[in-house]
């Protein structure tokens, strides 16, 4: 082997990285405050996850803007084209997909064409209905349920038309509202529209499942929520078909019986009719129908494991 070849060989060894670099997952959010106000929680959740070191997030979220606005904003279009993204998340103004579905559809189709051409996958951020309906559209969306149905239908239709991924934040929000109305109310800030800490955690968990196709239940970061709140939200999360359901137990909660007596317990599981928990290190069994209405609703939202 000649001297020059040996030198070249040694240089190649020295220039090799010390370890194998892992491929990054790059995610861009295009929306408004509904995306901006979950940014911190989603970032912290992913940082605390096994994917934390290999995920990059970026947000374009000026307040109140529609996807039509983004479609006409050259800086946003260039960011999509040149960012080498894996996912581009689209979130429209909170009323537009429900009140103006054709306007919404037109904007997302054009954006999806651009996203597809860039090599990324489009994700639709299905948002939630306002707490008490849309006061600006009382004839068509007088209640939360009416508004949520229109939002869910529009986002589902767009995802199907564009062959895109749907992040079902709004549908998960509806599950929590139904299972635990008190927690459902707390998903909102005082304006009845934007996400609270609980709402942001719910959205972040849905996106974690959407991007990585696995449960966030084992991630220690819980967004500052009480364990019982985080558990109830995690129980409402739907994993992709074929993926294992996260364990909901143990779950800490203050149980109240029909007579109004309260007790702090750690729930270990339930059957169709009974709940199993520990108190002061001792195991107990209790009839579910002997609990308060709110606790019955909470318990029946938990999976049966016995």
> CB of 91 within 8 A of CB of 29?
yes
pLDDT given at position 222? 95
Tokens of 164: 């895109």
Tokens of 171: 């549908």
pLDDT given at position 249? 74
Closest CA to 109 of 150, 78, 68: 68
Q: Report CA-CA distances (Å) from 124 to 24, 49, 156, 236, 294.
A: 21, 23, 9, 19, 33
- Ranges of beta strands (E only) in the chain are 25-30, 55-60, 87-90, 121-125, 165-167, 251-256, 262-270, 274-279, 282-287
| DSSP 8-state symbol, 64 | T
pLDDT given at position 244? 54
Splitting the chain (306 residues) into consecutive groups of 10 residues, what average pLDDT does each group show?
55 45 86 98 96 97 97 98 97 97 97 97 98 94 97 97 97 96 97 98 97 90 94 88 62 86 90 90 91 85 73
Distance of CA 158 to the CA centre of its chain: 18
Whether the link from the prior residue into 250 is cis, omega within 30° of 0, is yes
Residue-range domains of the chain with CATH:
25-236 (3.40.50.1110), 251-300 (2.30.30.700)
pLDDT given at position 251? 79
Q: How far apart are CA 118 and CA 153, in angstroms?
A: 27
Phi, psi of 76 (to 5 degrees): -65, -45
Q: How far apart are CA 35 and CA 194, in angstroms?
A: 10
pLDDT given at position 95? 97
Predicted TM-score (pTM) of this structure: 0.75
């Amino acid at each position: 082997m000649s001297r020059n070849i040996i030198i070249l060989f040694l240089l190649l060894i020295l220039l090799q990285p010390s370890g194998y670099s892992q491929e990054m997952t790059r995610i861009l959010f295009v929306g408004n405050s509904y995306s901006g106000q979950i940014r911190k929680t989603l970032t912290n959740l992913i940082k605390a996850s096994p994917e934390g070191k290999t995920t990059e997030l970026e947000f374009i979220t000026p307040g109140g803007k529609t996807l039509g606005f983004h479609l006409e904003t050259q800086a946003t279009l260039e960011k999509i084209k040149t960012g080498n993204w894996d996912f581009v998340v689209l979130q429209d103004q909170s009323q537009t997909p429900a009140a103006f579905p054709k306007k919404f559809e037109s904007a997302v189709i054009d954006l999806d064409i651009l996203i597809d051409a860039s090599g990324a996958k489009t994700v639709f951020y299905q948002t939630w209905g306002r707490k008490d309906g849309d006061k600006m559209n009382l004839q068509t969306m007088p209640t939360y349920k009416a508004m949520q149905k229109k939002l869910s239908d529009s986002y589902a239709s767009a995802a199907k038309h564009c062959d895109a991924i749907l992040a079902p934040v709004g549908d998960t929000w509806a599950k929590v509202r139904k299972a635990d109305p008190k927690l459902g109310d707390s998903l909102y800030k005082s304006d009845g529209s934007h996400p609270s800490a609980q709402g942001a955690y719910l959205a972040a968990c849905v996106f974690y499942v959407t991007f990585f196709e696995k449960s966030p239940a084992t991630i220690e970061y819980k967004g500052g929520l009480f364990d019982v709140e985080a558990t109830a939200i995690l129980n409402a999360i739907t994993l992709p078909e074929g993926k294992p359901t996260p364990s909901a137990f143990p779950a800490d909660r203050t149980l109240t019986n029909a007579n109004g007596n309260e007790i702090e317990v750690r729930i270990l599981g339930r059957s169709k009719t009974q709940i199993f928990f520990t108190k002061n290190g001792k195991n107990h069994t209790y009839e579910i129908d002997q609990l308060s209405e709110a606790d019955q609703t909470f318990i029946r939202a938990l999976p049966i494991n016995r």
